[in-house]
Amino acid sequence: MISMAHIREIKDYDKIAAGEVIERPASIVKELLENSIDAGASRVQVVVKKAGKQEIEVIDDGNGIPAGELKLAFEKHTTSKIGEFSDIYDLHTLGFRGEALASIKAVARVEMISKPGNQEMGRKIVFENNALVEERDVSAPDGTTVTVKHLFKAIPVRRKFLKKDSVEFAHISDIVTRYALAYHALDIKLIHNGRKVLDAPPSNGNLLNTIASIYGNDHAINMLPVENETDSFSLKGFIAKPCITRSSRSYASLFVNKRHVHSLEILKAVEDAYRGRIMKNRYPFFVLFLEMDPASIDVNIHPTKKEIKFASEKELVSSVRSWIRETLDASIHVPSTNPESLDAFTAQASKSSTGMRTSVSRQQQVHAGQGNAGLKPTANEGEGTHSELDTLIDSASKHVHAGILDDGTNGTREWRKQRTSGNGDDATIQGHPPAGGSTSTVSGWKPLIAGKGTRSIPDKGMFEVLPPINSLWGGFQLNDTYLCFEVSDDSGDLVIVDQHAASERIMYERVKKLFKDKGLGVQELLVPKPLSLPPNLLPLLGENLGVLQQFGFEIVEEPTQGKESKSNRFLLLKIPFIFNRKVDMSIIEDFLEDILCLEGDALQETKDEILKSFGCHSAIRAGERLSRKQAWRLLQELDQCDDPQHCAHGRPTFIRIKRTWLEREFKRTA
């Protein structure tokens, strides 16, 4: 939007929600970039040194500031974008408060050189310590260049609160990425410490090209177009098929009148539309643009202009929800429930060490397409082979659960009781534990709580401790998430295991032990896989390749032709063994995203968190259907844990619901 008006003071500026707008280097980049876009630039280059702590420079080819107005631009409440407060209800620019340059000049040294096309010479102005130190004519190309140095030099406390360079730069990169998406006709470059980090060339109005250049082709080919409108607003953009999900909202981009905004209501509406199609705690990837009459939104509710209010929020939310739902309904291939395909998958899955079957189609594809076929064979083929597991289950069935469960592969979620007769073990199976309640007669199975001898038993209550495994029977999977068993002793209680929490605990303890004893063990991929991470995390990834190697990841930067820039595309060559059962890139990428976002510099500070994250990402997920083998294996392995009662993050792995509680609830007892 080209601002042709002169810069002047806003008449009733006290109504503007101004305030602290410069919190970190990224705030400066945001404000300068917005100014360049408002100035109608077609090319903007953002050059930063040391994550902006040393220097930020934004160069544009926009309409420039007339020489006589340069000084005024740095005054408070002066702008060319509105004349009086009420103009914000007809706003067509990103800026309107007349505040940004004044705020930057208050916390840093700023130099601006600007030349409108109709001026012979450019004009340079420099402020230091909030005071004018230089103003003169210079020769310059059309447009504006702003250089900011010594951020927070005069406010050491604020400088101290800045995070390490990689984190600060991640904020900058995030902002530039969002603008590259919103203004995809614009040529935006981001250069950090001499390296080109983002290069989003103009995409001829094709947003999908920009999505491909930022997030990679594999994401772009899985996007669905959205285009809907009512009389008062329209929604355009792309949403990802449910096969692409993220562990956070980092891939969700919402723009209102091309302003990147945070609107929890709209985000939730989109997420609602995906409900039932993606797993719990997963978030969709989308780039959506809402357009509406500026009079129907209020951008003046937060100093950083990121939050806005909608006049007809209810209608908007419900339209967005149903439009997204319709798009998904129309385009999504519902995973086939054709028994043949399930059987084929089950057969394949059971060959892997966990053999998890999932109802999510992507995982089927990933297993089928990338499974162990994507790995180079090693001598040490993982923890537990099919035959070991069979022996384990056979032994458990023989001594404990014989015939109780079917194999769970016929699509039912119930593992039915099939009591056999004439077998001496049946007495135990059918709810009559050995006299004295001893479990030691059952070979190979330890009581869950007493197994390690030193575990303390928590207070009894409605939710109790898990009884010995051999006293559990029946069993079905609820919501593909909870494993429910009846306790076959006289108590008649119900035990419910959270499969993800239990699996997370198991994997966490396993990975911790491996890390301590002999290292995680690595597996080489047959074909290097490109990593797709949010662009703002790429610099962090680049800086942490050494640390990641200690955890079994070998990642290299893809080579480029040119010398001056690196590709910023990374290839995964080796993975820790713990992930080898299913080379699911989205799980690996989520894991990397998680650990790159951890606070703390030293590996020592974050090691345990990284190991927990290993546990979480390599664990069986909520929403995965398990066969009886997998269910019993999970119980058995949980039993072997040092702390079988909590997942790595402290949540309970199981609960026990007492029969007495049920009876009270049904008013059977007083």
Give the binding site for ligand ATP (CB under 6 A). 3, 7, 31, 34-36, 39, 60, 62-65, 73, 79-81, 95-102, 144
Return the one option of ligand ATP, Mg ion, none that residue 37 interacts with (CB less than 5 to 8 A, by type): none
Cβ 83 to Mg ion shortest distance, Å: 16
β-sheet bridge partners, residue 287 = 238, 253
Which stretch, 95-103, 454-462, 569-577, 658-666, contacts Mg ion (CB under 5 A)? 95-103
Rounded Cα distance, 409 and 626, in Å: 8
Residue 622: exposure state from Cβ atoms within 10 A (0-12, 13-18, ≥19):
middle
Alpha-helix runs per DSSP H in 153-216: 156-160, 165-182, 207-215
Orientation angle between helical segments 499-517 and 603-618, nearest 10 degrees: 130
Return the one option of Mg ion, ligand ATP, none that residue 110 interacts with (CB less than 5 to 8 A, by type): none
Do the beta carbons of residue 55 and residue 149 sit within 8 Å? yes
- Number of CB atoms found within 10 A of residue 662's CB: 14
List all residues 6 or more positions away from 640 whose beta carbon is below 8 Å from its beta carbon.
Answer: 446, 451, 506
Return the one option of ligand ATP, Mg ion, none that residue 245 interacts with (CB less than 5 to 8 A, by type): none
Q: In 15-92, where do the E strands start and end?
A: 43-49, 55-60, 78-79
Return the one option of ligand ATP, Mg ion, none that residue 79 interacts with (CB less than 5 to 8 A, by type): ligand ATP
User: Could you say which of 100, 108, 190, 588 contacts Mg ion (CB under 5 A)?
Assistant: 100
Cβ 6 to Mg ion shortest distance, Å: 15
Cβ 104 to Mg ion shortest distance, Å: 10
Rounded Cα distance, 89 and 311, in Å: 12
93 binds Mg ion (CB under 5 A): no
Instruction: Give whichever of 19 and 276 is closer to ligand ATP, judged by the CB atom.
Output: 19
Which stretch, 30-38, 275-283, 580-588, 649-657, contacts Mg ion (CB under 5 A)? 30-38
Please give the single-letter amino acid code of residue 297: I
Cβ 195 to ligand ATP shortest distance, Å: 24
Distances (CA, A) of 53 to 56, 74, 99, 583, 653: 8, 21, 21, 39, 45
Instruction: Give whichever of 176 and 287 is closer to ligand ATP, judged by the CB atom.
Output: 176
Q: Taking CB positions, which residue lies at the least distance from ligand ATP?
A: 95
Cβ 266 to Mg ion shortest distance, Å: 25
DSSP β-ladder status, 624-625 and 654-657: unpaired
For the CA atoms of 529, 530, 531, 533, the dihedral, rounded to the nearest 10 degrees, stands at: -160
DSSP code of residue 249: G
Distances (CA, A) of 366 to 369, 473, 527, 594, 670: 5, 33, 14, 21, 54
Return the one option of Mg ion, ligand ATP, none that residue 580 interacts with (CB less than 5 to 8 A, by type): none
Instruction: Give whichever of 52 and 451 is closer to Mg ion, judged by the CB atom.
Output: 52
Cβ 173 to ligand ATP shortest distance, Å: 21
Q: How many residues of this chain interact with Mg ion, rule: CB under 5 A?
A: 3
Cβ 95 to ligand ATP shortest distance, Å: 2
Instruction: Give whichever of 60 and 593 is closer to ligand ATP, judged by the CB atom.
Output: 60
Cα of 368 vs its chain's centroid, Å: 25
Which stretch, 100-108, 436-444, 450-458, 578-586, contacts Mg ion (CB under 5 A)? 100-108
Instruction: Give whichever of 92 and 659 is closer to ligand ATP, judged by the CB atom.
Output: 92
Cβ 192 to ligand ATP shortest distance, Å: 21
List all residues 6 or more positions away from 375 whose beta carbon is below 8 Å from its beta carbon.
Answer: 523, 524, 525, 526, 580, 583
DSSP β-ladder status, 187-192 and 43-49: parallel
Cβ 345 to ligand ATP shortest distance, Å: 55
Instruction: Give whichever of 62 and 475 is closer to ligand ATP, judged by the CB atom.
Output: 62
Instruction: Give whichever of 102 and 198 is closer to ligand ATP, judged by the CB atom.
Output: 102
Q: Which two tokens stand for residue 655?
A: 């609960």
Cβ 33 to ligand ATP shortest distance, Å: 9
Instruction: Give whichever of 35 and 471 is closer to Mg ion, judged by the CB atom.
Output: 35
Instruction: Give whichever of 52 and 122 is closer to ligand ATP, judged by the CB atom.
Output: 122
- Number of CB atoms found within 10 A of residue 338's CB: 9
358 binds Mg ion (CB under 5 A): no
Q: Taking CB positions, which residue lies at the least distance from Mg ion?
A: 95
Instruction: Give whichever of 102 and 273 is closer to ligand ATP, judged by the CB atom.
Output: 102
Instruction: Give whichever of 65 and 320 is closer to ligand ATP, judged by the CB atom.
Output: 65
Return the one option of Mg ion, ligand ATP, none that residue 81 interacts with (CB less than 5 to 8 A, by type): ligand ATP
Cα–Cα–Cα angle for 200, 205, 209, rounded to 5 degrees: 50
Q: Which residues of 167-198 are buried (b: 16+ CB within 10 A; e: fewer)?
A: bbbbbbbbbbbbbbbbbbebbbbbbbeeebbb
Instruction: Give whichever of 3 and 645 is closer to ligand ATP, judged by the CB atom.
Output: 3
Rounded Cα distance, 370 and 178, in Å: 32
Rounded Cα distance, 586 and 245, in Å: 8
| Residue in the block written with tokens 């074909």 | 527
Rounded Cα distance, 431 and 516, in Å: 41
Build a one-symbol-per-residue string for 32-71: x at contacts with Mg ion by CB under 5 A, - elsewhere: ---x------------------------------------
Return the one option of Mg ion, ligand ATP, none that residue 472 interacts with (CB less than 5 to 8 A, by type): none
Cβ 75 to ligand ATP shortest distance, Å: 9
Please give the single-letter amino acid code of residue 459: D
Instruction: Give whichever of 113 and 198 is closer to ligand ATP, judged by the CB atom.
Output: 113
| Residue in the block written with tokens 């060559």 | 573
User: Could you say which of 25, 64, 95, 355 contacts Mg ion (CB under 5 A)?
Assistant: 95
Closest CA to 110 of 50, 153, 51, 157: 153
Binding region for Mg ion (CB under 5 A): 35, 95, 100
